[in-house]
A and B are shown apart, each in its own frame.
Chain A
Amino acid sequence: MSMTTKETNPMAVAGPALVLLGLAVFPAVAPHFGLDYYTGFVMRMLIVMLIATSLNYLMGYGGMVALGHAGFVGVGAYALVAMTEAGVTNAWALWGGAMLAAAVAALLIGAVSLRTKGVYFIMITLAFAQMLYYLAVSLRVYGGDDGYNLYSRPVLGFGLDAADDATLYWVVLAVCAACFLFFHRSVGSRFGQALVGIRDNESRMMALGYPVFLLKLQAFVIAAAVAGLGGALMVTQNSFISPSSMHWSQSAVLIVIVVLGGLGHRWGGVIGAAVWVSLEETLRMSTEYWHWPLGALLITIILFAPEGLGALFHRSPAGKGEGRGGIFYLLRRSA
């Protein structure tokens, strides 16, 4: 549970740094290889990584399996749309406002939902997300079912041109990196340690005098705020949002991404989103039947590496005991 283990493996620091460097130079290099299209694709992937990481924080460290995370993504996206309609053009103000809107929604929804546990919690978060979905459908001013088109990208300021994909890409990368760092640091903080304690043994935490409900609510709100930011970034990139991105199946896909990448693994959301979004993209382009390989992958992962892809690289930092699953486990078992 404790995060005291020092990073002795240089790969643990060098790996992410290399990936970050690669991501940073990508938009500069891509045009030389005719890969311009992929700047937008990688940007979308980054945003999904951000949203998945926020869900991993909630599920993996907080032990709260929420099947309504896409609802908060939608709240952030629609908040940005509403503020744009009201005349706000500054991207930072819009993104901040989107986070705030998602946080307020999460505060209200969490205050009710966190009274329940387990499957009941899964279902009540689903219920609230569906309510948000139908609310979006009924908002005719923002396009209702058909969705809403943003006519111009928000203004970044600081001499940055949001209309340029590469510029926006770098800003998104910086925002995502900052959020990853926040989540990463947060796990070792007082709050993170209390959260993991609640995940592992809620009754004991209560008996130790922790305000368990409020701590869970704070985690719920933080995760939702970042999901809302993800939604806002998504609209900024696409200039489009529709209620379908709030549908429950989107929330299910987010859960799938987190489990695929490694629940409670530091890079779980990142790895899961990278694998899922890339596979979806390539499969969709190459075959009409692009669902079944994803289905087969999920079943395989659950049967043979239930701790997710992240655990194949190294041990879960959340320290969920002996790693049953993962490649080391498979090797040991077959040896």
Chain B
Amino acid sequence: MTLFSTRGLVKQFGSLRATDDVSIEVAPNEVHALIGPNGAGKSTLVNLISGMLPADGGSIVLDGVDLTGMPPHKRVRAGLSRCFQVTNLFKKATVLSNLMLAVQSHRGSSFLPLGRRDGEAELIERAVALAGRVGLGSELDRIAGSLPHGAQRQLDVALALAANPKLLLLDEPMAGMGPDESARMVELIQLLRRDMAILLIEHDMDAVFRLADRISVLVYGKVLASGNAEQIKSHPEVQAVYLGSEVEA
């Protein structure tokens, strides 16, 4: 059973084919990890899937709905939510304001120019619940930009969760984290997978092997191999181009 799939996704930048016939699938409640060396086209793929870049060919389907050609915000409404590789928050606002803005997007209209948003109890309630879910329940009044790096990434995830996504797209959530922070993020992802499928782009191989049900290796814009952790570790071509010593260690 497939929740999400891309079929023959293509993106061309001039003479460079950044995404070359990429087909991947994610099953419900599955964590599908996407790995690959720098410049393999992971970021391009994320932008194609989330709609920040238009694809030159191929299709994207989530839960029976064709997302191809949809603008980014409609994909979010359809159940595809993303985090950013570089933490992308409203840095000058509090954690609570950040979350309320995220919740507001999915509750009622944002075109009403009157009425006090901050007085809406339901928004506050849901925002507080989200904070609790990612472990930021005690940081509601902190300015987002002043949080430690790991907590900022947790907030980034919480913002994406406000949409109640069917598929969560995590773009290197562990980047720049210390071991403690990474461990907390792994825990969080384990928790989230009960409620949604996750497409995880990550460099941290320990985390990938612990979390992923399935791993796809992207090289030069192409999917080189796809399989479970054991299959990927033992795949000769993958070892040659990418994993090498890391797997031996």
Contacts and interface: CB of A to CB of B under 8 A. Distances in A.
Interface stretch (A43-51, A205-213, A246-254, A258-266): A205-213
A207 B92 contact: no
Interface stretch (B31-39, B100-108, B129-137, B207-215): B100-108
Nearest to A206: B72
B9 interface: no
B142 to A, nearest CB: 13
Contacts of B111: 190-191, 214-215, 218
Interface residues of A, number: 34
A314 B81 CA distance: 39
Interface in B73-98: 73, 76-77, 81-82, 84, 88-90, 92-94, 96-97
B114 interface: yes
A189 to B, nearest CB: 5
A4 interface: yes
A1 interface: yes
Contacts of B106: 209
A208 B118 contact: no
Interface in B142-164: 159-160, 162-163
Interface in A279-335: 319-321
B109 interface: yes
Contact of A1 (B72, B73, B92, B112): B92
Given A3-B118, A197-B90, A210 B73 contact: yes
A319 B110 contact: no
Given A190-B108, A207-B72, A1 B160 contact: no
A209 B101 CA distance: 11
A212 B73 contact: yes
B118 A215 contact: no
A193 B101 contact: yes
A200 B92 contact: yes
B82 A320 contact: no
A232 interface: no
A-side interface mostly:
helix
A90 interface: no
Interface in A77-101: none
Chain B interface extent, by class: 35 or more
A185 interface: yes
B101 A197 contact: yes
B194 interface: no
Contacts of B110: 190-191, 194, 210-211, 215
B216 interface: no
Contacts of A209: 73, 76-77, 81, 105-106, 163
Contacts of A205: 101, 105
B205 interface: no
Contacts of A4: 97, 118
A238 interface: no
A117 interface: no
B88 A204 contact: yes
A268 interface: no
A4 to B, nearest CB: 5
A200 B109 contact: no
Contacts of B89: 201, 204
A203 interface: yes
Given A204-B88, A207-B50, A207-B160, A190 B109 contact: yes
A201 B88 contact: yes
B113 A194 contact: no
Given A1-B90, A4-B118, 12 more contacts: A1-B97, A2-B93, A2-B94, A190-B108, A190-B112, A203-B84, A204-B90, A205-B105, A208-B73, A209-B81, A209-B163, A211-B73
30 contacts: A1-B93, A2-B97, A3-B118, A182-B113, A185-B114, A188-B116, A189-B112, A189-B113, A190-B108, A192-B113, A193-B101, A194-B105, A194-B110, A201-B89, A201-B90, A204-B88, A204-B89, A206-B52, A206-B73, A207-B50, A207-B72, A207-B82, A207-B160, A208-B105, A209-B106, A214-B111, A215-B111, A218-B111, A218-B113, A319-B93
3 nearest A-B residue pairs (beta carbon): A209-B76, A1-B93, A2-B97
Interface of B: 50, 52, 72-73, 76-77, 81-82, 84, 88-90, 92-94, 96-97, 100-102, 104-106, 108-118, 159-160, 162-163
